[in-house]
Amino acid sequence: MTGQFQLYTGDGKGKTTAALGLALRAAGAGLKIYLGQFIKKPDTSEAAALRARFADCVTHEIYGPAHFIRSAPTPGEITVATRGLAALRAALTGGRYQLVIGDEAVSALAAGLLAEADLLALADARPPDVELLLTGRGAGRALLDRADLVTEMRAIKHYHTRGLPARRGIEY
């Protein structure tokens, strides 16, 4: 397999969902997947499904706070995200996985938890036979240019603007 660098970004819903769809497809093809998530709660429905049904082919870890960062991140939050970046790099270069996903890694960059240079270096470290996917809002020009495939999720209409809260099994 020839790996590529994919990037799912934009303000619309569906980046994580699309990443999980790619993971499901890869699992069905017998590939080994590493999914590192940033800025995610540990008790999501996707985490439960991965533990219960895909533990043999998907390694799933969560790095960073389980909440949106609305101000400057704390040193502890930065340390955890940096540890997640190191885990992504190890998964990418270690020879065990054919698909490595950094879900919300771009959002971690936008929140000040990671540096753009670090995500670019991660992309550059990708072996030719490993697929790398990064997701998150706010991808800058350098990441957009570096990626082999870019998909932008664009919000046109969303029921949360009418006050509907996130629903278990649908949004998380």
Listed by start position, the domains of the chain span: 5-154
What letter represents residue 9's amino acid?
T
| pLDDT score at 20 | 97
Residue 43 reports pLDDT greater than 90: no
Q: Per-residue pLDDT tens for 105-133?
A: 999 999 999 999 999 999 999 999 999 99
User: Mean pLDDT over all residues of the chain?
Assistant: 94
- Top CATH class of 5-154 equals alpha beta
Residue 40 reports pLDDT greater than 90: no
Dist. CA 149–CA 39, nearest whole Å: 23
Strand partners, 67: none
Residue 42 reports pLDDT greater than 90: no
Q: Supply 110's token pair.
A: 């936008």
**Does residue 20 sit in helix, strand or coil?**
helix
Dist. CA 44–CA 16, nearest whole Å: 12
Rounded to 10 degrees, what is the CA torsion of 154, 78, 118, 88? -80
Residue 8 reports pLDDT greater than 70: yes
